[in-house]
Every structure is written in C-alpha cells, then in structure tokens.
Structure 1
Amino acid sequence: MTLSSLFIFRPVATTLLSLGVVLAGLLAFFQLPVAPLPQVDFPTISVQAALPGASSETMAAIVATPLERSLGHIAGINEMTSASSFGTTRINLQFDLDRDIDGAARDVQAAINAASSLLPANLPSRPRYRKVNPADAPIMIIALTSDTHTRGQLYDAASTVLAQKISRIKGIGQVYVGGSSLPAVRVELNPAALARYGIGFSEVRSAIAAANVTRPKGSVEEAERYWQIDANDQAKTANDYLPLIVAYRNGAAVRISDLGTAVDSVEDLRHAGLKDGKPSVLLILSKQPGANIIDTVNGVKALLPQLQASIPGAIDLSVVMDRAGMISASLHEVELSLLLAVALVIAVVFVFLRNLRSALVPVVAVPMSLIGTFAIMHLCHYSLNNLSLMALTIATGFVVDDAIVVLENSSRYIEKGMAPREAALKGAGEVGFTVLSMSLSLIAVFFPLLLMGGVVGRLFREFAVTLSVAVIVSLVVSLTTTPMLCAHWLAPAEPGKHGRLYHLSGRFFNRLSAGYERTLHWALDHGVLMIVLLLCTIALNVYLYVIVPKGFFPSQDSGRLAGTIQADQGISSRAMQQKLTDFVEIVRADAAVRNVIGFTGGQQLNTGRIFVTLKPLDERQESVDQIMVRLRARLAHEPGASLFLQPVQDLRIGARGSAATFEYTLQAERLAELRTWMPRILAALSRRPELVDVNTDQQEKGQQITLQIDHDEARRLGVNQALIDSTLNDAFGQRQVSVIYNPLNQYRVVMEAAPEYWQNPDILKKIYVSVPPSPLLPAGAQVPLSAFASYGPSTTPLSVNHLGQFAAATFSFNLKPGVSLSAATAIIDQTMQQLRVPESVHGSFQGSAKAFQKSLQNQPWLILAALASIYIVLGILYESYVHPLTIISTLPSAGVGAILALLAFKTEFSIIALIGVILLIGIVKKNAIMMIDFALNAERTAGKSPREAIFTACLMRFRPIMMTTFAALLAALPLALGSGYGAELRRPLGISIFGGLMVSQLLTLYTTPVVYLYMDRFRLWGRRRFRSRTSDQLAARLERP
C-alpha cells in the first residue's frame, strides 16, 4: 500500500484536510504585511554633533576625530564614515547584518561617554545618536503651506503638534520635520552701537541669560490659605527683549533696543523648504520594521482631517508623496501575473489531455498549494512583496508539474480502459518516487541561497523559502489530494463520445510524437555528435557569461525622482534658496511631473534636496529614464549650480547619501595626494560618455576670511585666543544664548550681529573684543580686532569626509541608458590605470556598486553550489554516482538559452536573472528525472536493454515532459511580458526562464538519452574494472604461501 492509496480510499478525510489547508492559508493571507521588498534591516547608527559657527576642518579635528577613535573600538562595525561641515558632524556606523542593533546602540552610547572628555566644553548639547535603516525610504511626505503664516510658525505646528500625533499611529517609526526650524527670538546687534557704548557681545549674552530664567520660587501659606509664587521672569517674544537693560553708561540704562533690535524669527535662517514654488515645511514619515506600508499610509490619511483641525485654519496640509499607491499597483500587477499564470497552466493541461475533468484537477491542486504557502509565510513573519509574489508566480509552473505527472499517468491508464480508481492507484504508485525526486532536487537548488550572507542573501532568503514551501506543499498535495481527485473525479474512457476537436488535437499530438520518435532514433544513432553538441553548449555558456552585460538590481520606475543641488562653493544661503526656487520651477514645468518639493540648509550651505513625484504610468508616455534625459537637458542651462537626479529605488544600500546612484571612494596616505588626484580622476571620468552626473563630495574651494593674529600684541592688550573666538562666535555664529520654555515646546534665543553686517568682511573692523577686568586693566577694555589682527580671503573645505577614520573623497555617478554597471566599473578601473594613479592612492566602490562586485564574485560559486546540492540529493535518491550526472547534463543548454534571451531583449544579467538561472537548474532537470526514472524501472522490471529502456521512457514521458515544460514556460510568460509598476524587477526573471526553457527543451529531449547511454557504459566499465581488480587481488592473496 502506498501513501496515495490511504487518501484515495478516504475521500472525505482528504477533502476536509484540503479545506483546512486552504482556510489556514486564507486567514494568513489577510494578516500578511505588504511591502515592496522583503524586510532587510541594515544595523546602522547615526551619531550627530553640532557646534554652531565651527568650520568643517574644526569640526573634523575636535569633534569627529575623538568620536571616531572611541567608536572605532566597537565590535562588529562593517563601515564607519563621517562628514564634517560648517557647524555639524555626522558619523554613520554600519554594523554586520547579524549584529543586534540594540546592543550596538548601547556600545555607541558608551563610546560617546568615553569620548566626552576630549570633546569641546562649549558644545550646545552632547552628541546624540539614533538607529536608522538606510534601506527604508520615506513612505509618505506631507507639506504644510500658508499664505499668512511664516515658515517658523509652520515648523512649530509641524514639530509641536503634527509630528507628535502622527508618531502615535500604528506603523510609524520616525517623523522628520524639514524645510525650516523652530521659532526663535533673534537678537540682532549693531557692532557700531556696541562700540559706541563700550559694550561687548559677551555682556549682552550674559544679560540675556541672566534676565530670562525659570527657577522654582516656592510658596507661602497661612493657617487656612496656601499660595504658590510666580513672577514674570520669562521673556517670550521679541518685544519682551527690547527693553532689557544690558548696562549703565553715565547713569543711563543701555537697553537692547539701543544696541540693535530683536525679531521673532527662526533658529536657523539657512533652512528653507518649497512645495511647488510655495514656502513650505515638510513632514517626512518612515515606517517601523515589518509594518504594513499600505495600512500605515491609510492610517495617516484617515487622521488628516483631525490633524488639520488641530492646527490654525490658514495652514494647508497636502500629501505630496505616498508609496502606498505605487506598492499597491506593483503588487496588483504581480497578482494579475499570478492569476494569469494559473489560468495558462490549466489551459496547458486541457490542451494536452483534451478532457475538461482532467483540466479541473489542477484548478484545485494549484491554488491549494499556493494558498497553503501563505500560512507558512505568516509563521515565518514574511510579507507580501514583489519577490515573494514572484516566487509564487514561478511556483505555479512547479506545483502544476507535480499534479501533471500524477494526473497524466493516471489519465494514460484510463485511456487504456482502466477504471479511474485503479488507474489512480497504479498511476500514483508508479510516479510517487519521480515526484519526490523532482521536488527534493528542486528544493536542493535553494540551499545555497538560504546559506548566502550579505545583502543578497537576506534579500532572497524569503524568495527561496517561499518557493521551497510552495514546492513542499505541492508535493504533499500531489501525493494526497491529486490522486483522490483522479480516482473520484475523472470519468472512465468512452471512445465514442469524443468530439471533432478531440480527434484533431489527437492527430496533431500523434504526429508530434511520431516526429520525436524518428528524430530520437537519429540522435541515438549519432551519439558522438550529440555529445559534441553538449560540450559546445558548455563552452558557449562560459563565453556568453563573460560577454553579457551585468548589473546588480534592475532599475525600477517608481514614479519618483530624488535630486541633489550642488551650487558654487562660495554661494550664500539667500542665493542658494533662489537656486532652489529656480530648479523647482524648471522641473515643475515638465509635463510628466505631478509635484515637486525641495529644501536647503542641510549639512553644507551650497547643497539642497529635491523630491519629484511623476504622474502615474497610465498618464505619461515616457519611462523615468527618458524623463531624466529630458530634464538634464533643461537643467544644464542654470548658471552657478547643478541638479543631479536619480530614480528612487526600493532597494538602497549604504548609509551615506550621494548625489547619484553609484559611488566610488578614494583614499590616500597623505591628504595632499588625495586633493591632487581626485580632480584629475573626476575630470577623466566626466569625459566618458557612458557615465552621467559625475560629481564629488570633495569641495575644497569654499570662501573663507582668515585672521592673522599678532599674538604678542594681543597678549599685551590683554586679549587671548578664547576671547577672540568667543567674540566672533557671538557675532557671526547664530549663538543660542537662552531657552524660552513654553507648555508644548522649548524655543531658543539667538544672538548675532544684524544680517546687514554679514554682507562684507570689512565688518570685522568694527568688532571689539571685551577684555575682562584685570590688575593691568581694572575697568576692563574694548579692544578692536584691527588693533592686533589683519584678515584676508582664503579657501577652505566645505566638508571633511572620513572613511574608517581616514580622509576620503567620494565621487558618484549615474549610468547612461543602455550602459551596464559591469561596463561602468570596468571604465573606472581602466581610467585609474590610464592615469597611472600611484599605489598610495587607492579606490573602492561603495553602496550598490560594492554589493554588485561582491555578488559578481559569488555568482559562479553560487551556481556550482546549486549543482553540487542537486548532485548530492539525486545521488542519495538513486543510490548512484552516475545517474545524477546524466540529469545534470541537461543544464548547460538552459544557461545558454537564458543568456541568449537576455541579450536578445537587451537586459542585464542582474541578480534577478541569476535567480532565474538557478531556478532553471531546478526546472530543466525534471525532464531528465522523468526519463531516467522510467528507463531504470524498465531495465529492472522488464529486463530491457539500456537503449531500448531509454527509448521507451522518452516516448512514454514525452507528453508529460511537454506539459510540464509548457506549464513552466507559460508561468514565466506574464513576468517576461509584464508592464506597469515593478515590471523592471520581474522581467529579467521571466526572460531568463522563458529563454532557458525554450533552448533546453529543444536539446535535452535528444542529449539526455544519449548521455544516459554513455554514462551507463561508463558505469558498467567501472564495475568491470572494480571486479577485475578485486579478482586479481584475491588471486594474489591465494597464491601467497
């Protein structure tokens, strides 16, 4: 009794068990989260520190370096980069993928504490860190605009009210507010007035700090009453600061209004945001790990009326970007492909078996296998994403194969006149081992994927597990439910009741089978030619793999663009905001653009960011690459600044942000060498037509006013360096000198010289340093800078970047349409050789390009590991060293077909295409398994010769081989021809599988039986040699005395 017979004789139990599997899968389906790709958490921590007014070199020396030395001792750091610019330092720590992020965060905090004694004492706040995931793009952006409210008021509403409410929504991980800064009172001083009254900046700062305090005041009480004590000790608006007394001169009070003015403004004037040309503040929302993006976005949208009601009515809220629509559309396309694949494979069954009842068996078996997979996906905490749904789409061709093998064999016996139950018992019993071999060897293909490390391994683990689970569920269904359906659903053969279509198709298949029989005779008679053809396909595989353009991950048309503005290094913040406005207007004018948002005021004063939302695919004719080409031509005419655009991708690798998609980093033993060679390499690469948007983060020509201090004279006048730096910071550093406490938030008081005095460096002549009282100067003094210092223009780096604690410079680039990443990396390596860059200057790819290089190195080993896994599993199943080699011999032709198809459709050999080739390894060997399994059985049971056995097996299994191949072909067809969102991701998989199956089907029907005969001869030869050697050794032992 076989396993299938238990279920054939118990149809009710089998039906109920099947329903249970389907119900469990359906319940799990509605609980699975939705995402564009599997969740890949890059354990990354960003450390930030600020010292307003400090130059980039100062920040790198006194903030970044001490922190990096301390952080560098943490275990498990994969990459540490830092960027120091005017007033800020950001250090990104990317840990090994297996590192626990919470444990890493504790180590980071301990390292910051250890470095605190080496950091400047005047840091406004301690360095802070936050856990980030570079792979998570924002899921939604909300813009606040108003015709009456200032940017500061918009930011206050966004930060104080909206961000707090949104952060409580299920699924929201972080809310970033950009485009301005919090409201503040700015005390703007007139250096000439200060000099006239003999008052220094430090005295004003001390007066503000002393006057604006919030201290406990206690209470009083009598026998029956109790009073708390309060006072008007908080100055909350600009008007409260104007009458503040700073000092007395000649008995008269000198107030802030005498020294300058105070205005209600914002903390940092350099931040500005735009939405379609209007001043705006932006709320940028990110999700929590594992959250359902669609549910989270819908939750925010449902709360929008409440959010609008919680802020002033003159402020407008608008959603300028959300990923839910694109993700829904992309998954909808995959679901349609899945349904179409199911329909096509069912049609294959009907066409070949010419029986409606037979075609209905896969209608039950295929959906049941796929739906049952959802239950295991839920237990594994997987999501519905492009890769998991692609796995199920491809699995349609696999799961129907198992049902086809059982169904076709049972139908064959029914056609011979056997009763359905007996036919199902005999048919399922004969092919049970075949189905088991096909399924286990297919699952073996995915073992290497499951064991892969790095980003690719994490990304495709869910794909491999989902596909393997679908195959396992299909195996169980094909040995239980399918035989039961064949026994109780199929009708006995009635030759007289078939229609004209049945007989016409029968004649066609008979002719096809007869043609195969004739050509198979020829192939077996010309075995040497077939072997030569097989060897040629192996050599052709190697050649095609070398020449095929290679890429990492297909570039997707997500309907979104991200842009980075790089302006002249000496540009002012006001001019930079005008450049932002100009670029926004140029991009908005394009017919394919729906809306544009942007902001300035990031780490570098001469940079800005722009986010473009394109119209949906059905409303525009061009692809995202075509739109970018058109925009580049229009943006090239803007003087003094460049806007670099790149399509937003679902997969992002690397913790640093760059102006283009791919990155290459240079490091040198000496900083002077780096500054010498970086411009040369950049110029050479910019001339290459294959690369576009070539740019660098090395900006060494920022304008600077350098003071030349006569230290002896300064010392004679009682001035030290600390007093000089503090005075300059007070005047020009937007120094935060006090805090205003409000019920919902805290605001700053910023002191500086009035903006009209920033326009010319000559203002330094009017700056006085306050010298405190001393034995030589009992009353103190006001000493002009000009008394002990001169100044002149010079240049300075706008940003100092480190990689692994050493100076580094990175250039980024995009690819011209039609250029592969493999070609680009070769161009860069070739350029470095042509320029004869010294060994002391070395470069390395970063981000996606680095991941591409690693995956390229692992691709051959991954394919070999898949072949080894199949060989081991088949060797165990067949208890043979030889027959697995026969089965594996079918694979070279599939590789040739896959690469030829990719070349024909001008598609790169990407990671997705590689997965297609690995899947082909599992698909194509099924044909050989069906042939060899029946041939071995014929040799053992019927005593046939190897040639007669393999010939009979090929003819007998010709129909199921054609059915399974066409089922897999048609399952891949919707992916290969699909359109819509995410089609770029799915297309390489479908093309490689379709092409591989087409070529392999033509060749393996003839090469496999020939290889079987040669391998059988080899097996017999080896056995004879072994026996002969054993006999000789035995005889030798017997002859010994």
Structure 2
Amino acid sequence: VDKQIADPLKRVPGVGAVVYVGGRERQINVHFDREAIEAYHLSVQQIRNVLVAENLNLPVGTAKIGRNELQIRVAGRYRDAAEIANTVIGSNGDALVRLRDVATVTDAFEEPQEWARSGKLPAVALIIQKQSGANTVNVIEAIKECLKTIKTEVPADIEIHEILDNSDHIYAMINSLTESAVVGGILVIVVCFLFLRRFRTSLVVTLAIPFSIIVAFIGLFIMGYTINVISLMSLAIAVGMVVDDAIVVLENIVRHVDDGMSPRLAAVEGTSEVGMAVAASTLTIVAVFAPLLLVKGIAGIIFGQLAFMILITILASLFISLTLTPMAASRLLRSRDQRKLNPVFVWSERLLNEIEAGYSHVLEWGLRHRKIVLSLIIIVFIGSLALIPLVGTEFFPEVDSGEVEVVLEMAQGTRVEITAGTTEEMLKAVNAIPEMEASYALAGQTKKGFLTALGFEEGTNIGRIGGRLIDKKERSRHAKEIASELREQVTKLPGVEKFSASAVSAIQKAFLGGGRPISIEILGHDIEMTNEVAAKIQRIVESTPGAVDVAVSRKRPRPEVRIFLDRDKAASLGLNVALVADALRTNYYGFDDTKFREAGDDFDIELRLKKDQRETIREIGETPITTLTGQTIKLRNVASVRETFGPVEIDRKNRTRVTKVQAGVQGRVLGDVVRDIREKMTSLDLPPGVSIEWGGEVEEQRKAFRDLTLLLILGIVLVYMVMAGEFEDFVDPFIIMFSVPFAFAGVIWAFVATATPLNLMSFIGVIMLMGIVVKNAIVLVDYTKQLRAGGMTLNEAVVTGGKTRLRPVLMTSLTTIFGMVPLALSRGEGSEIWNALGITVIGGLSVSGLVTLILVPLMYSLVHRGKAK
C-alpha cells in the first residue's frame, strides 16, 4: 500500500497528506519465551545487544592493493528471518544457544492497533488531504487520474474504490446553481416579454443580462476568484436584478415614443428623466452589499465573494442601462406611426390599462380615506410582529449531501479487537440501509497519531462508521432521517458509552469544522465541581426535546497498571528506575532499534515477550530485571504492581480548565432547542469559581448574527444617506423608508408559511431586501416630484405618478421575484443553502412591493399636504 498506492498519491500536485488506516506494517517478530531465557541463564538485555551487534554493515577502512584503493566493509546485515533465528546469543556448556532456542522468529506483521472495512471486506482506508489553498476539484481530478494508473499496477485481487469524494458534491452544487441561474434568467425574460409584448423592446432589456454577467466574470478573474459555489450563487441571485434599471429606463423611453416622440429623442429624454433615480436606486444596493466585504470570521468567508460578485454585476447593469439600453432603444424601437399593432398586443394593452385605472381608483380612494388605509396597514404590520415567536433560528442550513457517519466510543482502555467487533456490528446496520451506496468502518489508534493530526478523534476504544448514500433525487429520505435510524441502532450495541450519528455535509465541515451544534462550556479549576455541574447540565440537555447524542467531553481516566518501585531495595541490588522501565518496555512494548533491510526498504526487527506471557497482571511482576552487575532480579522483589487509573485528560480555554457538554440537534431548529436549555439552566446554582459559556455553532451563530445585525443597521443608514443625497432633503427618504418595515413583515410571513428558520443565508436575504425594496419607491417618489415641479397639484401628482410608474414597479418586482423562484424551489445538491435566501427575498419583496404602491404615495401626500405646489 505504501509503495504502490500511497507514495504515488503523495506526489500528486496539491496533495498535502495521505494517511492510511487498517494496514499492517511488515516486520520481523522475535517473540521470546521468558522461561526459556531463564533456563539458559540469559537475559533480554543480552539478546538485544547481540541483535544490534550482529546486524551491521560497516565500513572499516581502506586497503591499497596494486593501482586501486579498496574500501573494506564488514557485511553483517541479516538477509532473512532464518538467519536471524540462527544467531548465537550465548552458550550452555559446550553447546551454542541460538535465538531460535528461546524465541519464535517470523517474517510477519506488527500486532494490529487499527482496523478498517469497506462494505463487508477487510480494507485499508486512505484519507487524502489537499494542501491549503489548492483547488479541491483540480486536486481530486489529478488524484483520479493517478488512481487509474495505480489500478493497472496493483495485483488483480486488490480493488480500489472511492467511498467519499468531495468533488461530487461540488459538481452537483455547481450544476444545481447553474440550472437555477439559467431558469431564473429565462423566467426574467418571460416576465419582460409579457409586459412589453414586443420582441425588439424585450431584446433591449434582456441585453443587460449577458453583458452584466460578462463583466462579472471579468471581475471574477481579475480578483483571482474561481468559478465556485459562491460565485455561481451570487450570479443566480443577481440575474433577476440586472434588468431592473434597464426596465425603468426603457419603459420611460417607450412611454415617450408612444406619446409621439421619435425613438432617438425619446432615448435621450427618457434616460435623462430617470437617470438620477436609477443611479440612486442602484446605489442603495451597493450600500447594503459593500459592508459585507468587511465582515470577518465564517460569515466573511462565505459572503465576501458573494457581495463582490453582486456589486460588480449590479454596477455593470447600471452602466449598461444608462448607455447600451438607450442606444439600442434608439436603433431598435419604431415610432408610433411605423408600428403595426397585433390583436394580442391591443388586448393585453387594454388589460394593463384597466389595471392602471383600477390602481388609480384605489389610490384616489386611499387619499380620501387615509386614516382607514393607514390603520389597516398598521394592524397588518403589528400582526406580523406577533408571528415572530413562530420563527426559529439556526446557524447554517442543514445540507443533505448524501453522507452519514456514526462515531462510537467504548470505555477507556478497551482493546481494539473489542472495539472493532462492535464497530463491525454497526457496519452491518449501515449496510442494511436500502439507500446506502458505499460504506466504511475504522477503529483503533494509528501508530503515529495521523488521524488526530487531521482533526479526527482516535483511540483503541473509538470506532467510526459511515457511508455514501445514493443520489438525492433517487431516495425519499433525507440524510438526517437515515442518521436518526442509525442512532436507534447504535443504542442497541452493548458497551458503547458515547456516540454521535450525523449527516454533516462536506461544505459544513469546510466552513464549520464539523463541530457539534451545541457546546456548553463549564470553566473552573476544581475538577470535581466542574464534573458535577457538567452532569447536571447533561441531564438538562438530555431532557430537552430535539437534543441528541448528548455527551460530556471530559474523558474518564484510562485504566492502567502502575509500578511502584522500592527505591532502597532496588538501590541495594544495583537497580534504578531507568533499568526497570527499560526492561518492562522491551517486554511489553518491544525493542525495534535494529532494522532488516530488503530491496532498499527497512523493516523493524521487534524483540518482545511472547503474547501469551503478557496477558495477566501477575506476569508483569515476573519480569526479570538485569542489574548493573549482571544479576537477574524479578520485578515483584523490588516493586509492587497495582491496577489503577491514569491522569484525567484536561482541556483548557484561556488557561482555565474546561469541560464541555455537547449535543446534536434533530427534529427541531437549533435556536428553539437552545432557548429551552437556557430556560432550564436558569435554576442551576453554580459553585464558587465555576462559570458557564456557550460554544459550538451556538456561539458562532451569536457572533455572526451580531455582525450581520450591525451590517443591517449600517445598510439602512447608508441607504437613507444615498437617498438624502439624491433628493437633497431628509423628508422624502424618510417616506421611502416606510417600505422597509413591510419587507420584514413579508419575510416573517414567508418564514412561517414555509417553516424556514432564520440563518446565515436568510439573514443575507434580509440585508439584500433593504436595498431592493426602496428601489421602486425611489423611482415612484422621484417621478411624483417631477410632476409637482411641472405644475400638478399634490393629489393629482401622486395619482398620476403612481399610475405611470405602476408598470415598471411591477416589472422590476416580478423580475426579481421570478429570478429568485428557482433558488427558492431548487431541490438539487446543496439547495438547502440557497432555498432560505430565495424564500426571504420573495416573501419580503412581494409584501413590500404591494404596500409600496399604496403606503408610499399616501405618506407622500400626508407629509407634503401643507406645502405649496
């Protein structure tokens, strides 16, 4: 495995480490019989010294013979196990004593401390980790190419299978997002055509989509970003917004053309009329996304690139709407006299005119009955606030990427054979899952702790079982439901003290480290006190619905055998601690300071007490110790051997001892479970010197939500400042901001209706809405001000402005909403991530869009009714 598989994989560009579990290293086992050694009056130390002295290949000088200077070398290295067994280690009278007389010498393998299975077969599991900064997909593709070559070179009876492959998830998510972006773009084009109903006009608007995306990709490569899940998600989000500015500009141009103006003049006049309003409305989007570039931590990693991509795309769409759109309109639009009106256009135009007339009547009635309308709107808003307790919270959406894993922990000190047996029973349960495509199981402790270095918990008492499920579209159950079934199975296994069953995805592991959702940290110096508090909290968490796999992080002491040396007696016999420890280590751990070399490879020669003589406590006391004078003493004569427990493993946080109560979440959202736990913990009396802190996803959620809340407030302030600069006063922006609260109301309704919790992704949707919902109100108020400046009365300007701007408001709202529909309804790989964002924007924009058409005109008339025309 090492030479033919691991070494070639280590040479693949981008591979950082290759760790394998389950294989056994070849070595020469020299297992001696204690009784035989004693019978020949030998010592283990003698055998050690002989093996080291005999297994040498040493240069000893040179000889000048004739014209040559020749190197003199003593070639004494062992050539095979038989030669080692034939080594003379002493004498018994006239007879030579050979190693085979006191030991069994075999060319075999080391004793197993680790175990692995794939499906139902013994296996060697290779875990490959990429280098930091390397592209995951590129590295995995290179690994697969390397494996193709390896498979042709290994023996025919060895099978190589990929069990878990992160690139599969990444490709599936990219395909899902690409599909959502394409479908969203098509829906946006359809909405534009339904309103414009002319091919040329629709073409002018939809030109903004490809040109904006091209600019976005240019920015992507300039900044050194790759085409990944985040960049594609940002494009899928932006596809419905890139036509907003073009719609407003083009609709105004078309209106002038319909009034008899030439397309060329209409392009100039129409663009100049709405140019500042369009720029201001786009800058509100910039105002809410720009601060995301400053976020640190996990939220910054996720949303930094997303914010950059959306900003580039939206700014590109603004530039296009003020340049390409009027230019294309002047060329492609026909004057009123040149157009031929088909019956469908005439019918649809009549329908839209009736909608505009109906909206005018509603607006006129509302202006006459402001108190009634405003009272109803306030009642609706307060009713929305009453639904807030029904909205749950979580840190990150639960993603079904088709992986499940069970980690079980036996009692400290459990032999690997026992752990492997229990792990194998759990593997049978995993293989019995109908949706399981491939499975694996690992148990034990790697020789050099490689799994620990990679962030996995390991030990002779720990087993890890998992697998890959069939494609999401081919199964009816979510991965977390299958994990729940496995949780029930593991509770039936005897001897399991702790376990966790989860469906954590690769993307969650990447961003969150695969940690536990709930982690309650108990800090204090006194171990007994903190253990007592941890036990109480464990009972509280276990009694809370939705909390699963509850466990305390502090491990129980490991059972051990401790040797207590009688120093005075040992000193009188010429012994010390070092001699005793050295003898015991050779007997029980083994001595391997000399190597067997074959074909350029070195293998350990392990000298160790035979297995059946090191399986009882009594045998330890019978260990012979050789004194400095060569005398042999039994250990029991100078020391006592006792069974006891080792020191407790202590974790620290900020130099303070800490133990954690950790749990997963199943069937409820994280926020609700944590709320119930907090309520129960209020009655907990903490001893002096003991404190409690929250960690895990709960703490990450708190920090992320705190930062995003500050960004939300900052975004609202920046949006207000942008509008104040556009309107050159503080009153009209205040009026426009009335549309913001109803975006929140729409979000709450959407969350309750779809059972969507507030998480990182939906929070970003809320921040997005702050810039989106005011766009329509800006265009509406700006045009109303123009009409008033032209001499209209206040109410006449309000009604006319609303009626004139109804179509672009509906179009921009619907294009954004329909652009988000594929994100909200997607069921592909990783769709849980962007579903929440799509639902948030759709809910908020639907409600605020409708309210904007009524509330903003009413508030404008109310605030300005005392002013002159």
**Shorter-normalised TM range:** over 0.9
Tell whether 2:810 aligns with 1:962: yes
- Where does residue 720 of structure 1 map in the other structure? 576
- Asked if 1 retains the 8 angstrom alpha-carbon contact of 2:540 and 2:677, the reply is no
CA distance in structure 2 between the partners assigned to 1:731 and 1:1019 by the alignment = 101
Aligned equivalents of 1:281, 1:301: Cα separation in 2: 18
Aligned to 2:844: 996
CA gap of 1:383–1:562, structure 2 versus 1, over 3 A, is farther
Relative to structure 1, the CA distance from residue 242 to residue 542 in structure 2 (aligned partners, 3 Å threshold; closer, same or farther) is: farther
Match of 1:505 in 2: 348
Tell me how far 1:472 sits from its aligned partner: 1.0
Residues in 2 aligned to 1:205 and 1:735: alpha-carbon distance in whole angstroms? 8
Q: Which amino acid aligns with 1:686?
A: E
- Mapped contact 1:654–1:846 kept (Cα < 8 A): no
In structure 1, the partner of 2:776 is 927
Q: CA deviation at 1:744?
A: 6.0
Q: Deviations over 1:818-867 (max 9, x none)?
A: x1111232344344433423353333333433211212333432211111
Q: Secondary structure at the match of 1:399?
A: coil
- Alignment partner, residue 24 of structure 1: none
Contact 2:522/2:534, CA 8 A, preserved across alignment? yes
Cα shift at 1:793 = 3.0
Partner of 2:542: 686
Separation in structure 2 between the aligned mates of residue 670 and residue 656 of structure 1, nearest angstrom = 31
Conservation of the 8 A alpha-carbon contact between 2:544 and 2:677: no
Whether the 8 Å contact between 2:298 and 2:511 is mirrored in structure 1 is no
1:473 is the counterpart of 2:316: yes
Paired residues of 2:59 and 2:74 also in contact (CA < 8 A): no
The alpha-carbon deviation at position 159 of structure 1 amounts to 2.6
From 840, 864, 867, give the equivalent of 2:689. 840
Distance 1:388 1:236 in 2: 60
Aligned with residue 816 of structure 1, among 661, 666, 682: 666
Matched, 1:751 2:607: yes
Alignment correspondent of 1:369: 212
What's the offset of the Cα at 1:231?
4.5
CA distance in 2, matches of 1:1006, 1:429: 27
Aligned partners of 1:544 and 1:896 also within 8 Å: no
Match in the other structure for 1:51: none
Which residue of 2 is the match for residue 732 of structure 1?
A: 588
Return closer, same or farther for 1:772/1:415 CA change in 2, 3 Å cut-off.
same
Amino acid at match of 2:469: L
Q: 1:734-883 to 2 correspondence within 5 Å?
A: 734-740=590-596, 746-773=602-629, 780-796=630-646, 799-817=649-667, 819-883=668-732
**Aligned with residue 520 of structure 1, among 358, 363, 371:** 363
**1:975 counterpart residue number:** 823
Match of 1:350 among 193, 199, 209: 193
CA distance in 1, matches of 2:677, 2:591: 45
Are residues 833 and 697 of structure 1, via their aligned partners in 2, closer, same or farther at CA, if it must alter by over 3 Å?
A: same
Q: Distance in 1 between matches of 2:288 and 2:511?
A: 33
Q: Secondary structure at the match of 1:979?
A: coil
* TM-score normalised over the length of structure 2: 0.92
Task: Assess if the C-alpha contact under 8 Å between 1:333 and 1:980 holds in 2.
Answer: yes
Per-residue displacement from partner, 1:7-27 (whole Å, max 9, x unpaired)? xxxxxxxxxxxxxxxxxxxxx
Q: 1:543 deviation in Å?
A: 5.3
**CA displacement at 1:696 relative to structure 2:** 3.0
The answer as to whether partners of 2:480 and 2:502 remain within 8 angstroms in 1 is: no
SS of the residue corresponding to residue 319 of structure 1 reads: coil
Q: Give the 3 Å change call, closer, same or farther, for CA 655–401 of structure 1 in structure 2.
A: closer
Counterpart of 2:399 in 1: which secondary structure?
Answer: coil
The 1-side partners of 2:298 and 2:374 are apart by 40
Contact 1:187–1:263 (CA under 8 A) maintained in structure 2: yes
SS in structure 2 at match of 1:812:
strand
Q: TM-score, normalised by structure 1?
A: 0.78
- Following the alignment from structure 2 to structure 1, what is the Cα–Cα distance between the partners of residues 59 and 195? 89
- Is the 2:57–2:73 contact (alpha carbons within 8 Å) kept by the matching residues of 1? no
Instruction: Tell me the SS of whatever aligns to 1:590.
Output: coil
The answer for the alignment partner of 2:438 in structure 1 is: 595
SS in 1 for 2:531: helix
Gap regions ≥5 residues in structure 1: 1-157, 774-779, 1021-1041
Q: 1:227 to 1:274 in 2, by over 3 A?
A: farther
Match of 1:380 among 204, 212, 223: 223
Q: CA deviation at 1:400?
A: 0.9
User: Which one of the candidate residues 505, 508, 525 is aligned to 1:669?
Assistant: 525
Which of 274, 298, 310 is residue 117 of structure 2 equivalent to?
274
1:506/1:236 Cα in 2 relative to 1: closer, same or farther (>3 Å)? farther
1:378 to partner: Cα distance: 1.2
Residue 604 of structure 1 contacts residue 798 of structure 1 at CA under 8 Å; is this kept in 2?
no
SS in 2 for 1:605: strand
Structure 1's 372 and 306: CA in aligned 2 closer, same or farther, altered over 3 A?
same
- Matched AA of 1:694: V
Partner-residue secondary structure (3-state), 2:593: strand
Post-superposition shift, 1:692? Answer: 1.0
Report deviation, 1:214: 5.0
1:918 aligned partner = 767
- Counterpart secondary structure, 1:610: strand
Contact kept, 8 Å, 1:376 with 1:469, in 2: the verdict is yes
Q: Return the alpha-carbon distance in structure 1 between the equivalents of residues 443 and 377 of structure 2.
A: 61
Deviation of 1:686 (Å): 2.4
CA distance in 1, matches of 2:311, 2:510: 30
Structure 2, unaligned stretches of length 5 or more?
A: 446-457
Given that residues 293 and 307 in structure 2 are in contact (C-alpha distance below 8 angstroms), is that contact kept between their aligned partners in structure 1? yes
Measured in 1, the distance between the counterparts of 2:345 and 2:704 equals 51
- Counterpart for residue 31 of structure 1: none
Look up the match of 2:485.
630
Instruction: Give the whole-Å Cα distance in 1 for the aligned partners of 2:80 and 2:681.
Output: 59
Deviation string for 1:945-997 (max 9, x for gaps)? 44433332211111000000000110111111111101111110111111111
Q: Equivalent of 2:184, from 320, 325, 341?
A: 341
Output aligned runs, 1:596-611, within 5 Å.
596-602=439-445, 603-611=458-466
Offset from partner CA, 1:367-416 (integer Å, 9 cap, x none): 22112201111111222233321211111111010111112111222222
Query: Among 461, 468, 476, which residue is 1:621 paired with?
Result: 476
The answer on whether the counterparts of 1:160 and 1:744 sit within 8 Å (CA) in structure 2 is no
Equivalent residue number for residue 581 of structure 1: 424
In the other structure, the counterpart of 1:86 is none
> 1:806 and 1:758, CA in 2 relative to 1: closer, same or farther beyond 3 A?
farther
Do 2:384 and 2:749's aligned partners in 1 also have CA atoms closer than 8 Å? no
| Aligned equivalent of 2:834 | 986
Aligned residues of 1:659 and 1:812 also touching (Cα < 8 A) = no
Partner residue in 2 for 1:489:
332
Report the AA paired with residue 829 of structure 2. Y
Q: CA deviation at 1:550?
A: 0.6
> Match of 2:412, SS?
coil
Per-residue deviation, 1:250? 4.3
Deviations 1:415-437, CA, capped at 9 Å, x for gaps = 22322222222212212112211
Say whether 1:1005 aligns with 2:853. Answer: yes
Looking at structure 2, the residues matched to 689 and 521 of structure 1 have their Cα atoms a distance apart, in angstroms, of 53
How far the C-alpha of 1:735 sits from its partner, in A, is 4.7
Native 8 Å contact 2:115 2:442 kept in 1: yes
The aligned amino acid for 2:581 is D
SS at match of 2:162: strand
CA distance in 2, matches of 1:907, 1:715: 74
1:920 CA drift (Å): 1.0
Q: Is the 8 A contact 1:667 1:674 kept in 2?
A: yes
Counterpart secondary structure, 2:548: strand
Equivalent residue number for residue 612 of structure 1: 467
Q: 1:197 to 1:781 in 2, by over 3 A?
A: same
Q: Distance in 2 between matches of 1:210 and 1:256?
A: 14
Residues 832 and 213 of structure 1: CA distance in aligned 2, closer, same or farther (over 3 Å): farther
| DSSP-derived class of the 2:78 partner | coil
Deviation at 1:739, TM superposition (A): 4.0
Aligned partners of 1:1019 and 1:265: how far apart in 2? 99
In the other structure, the counterpart of 2:506 is 650
Q: Equivalent residue of 1:185, what SS? A: strand
Partner of 1:90: none
Would the alpha carbon gap of residues 504 and 720 (structure 1) be closer, same or farther in structure 2, given more than 3 Å must change?
same
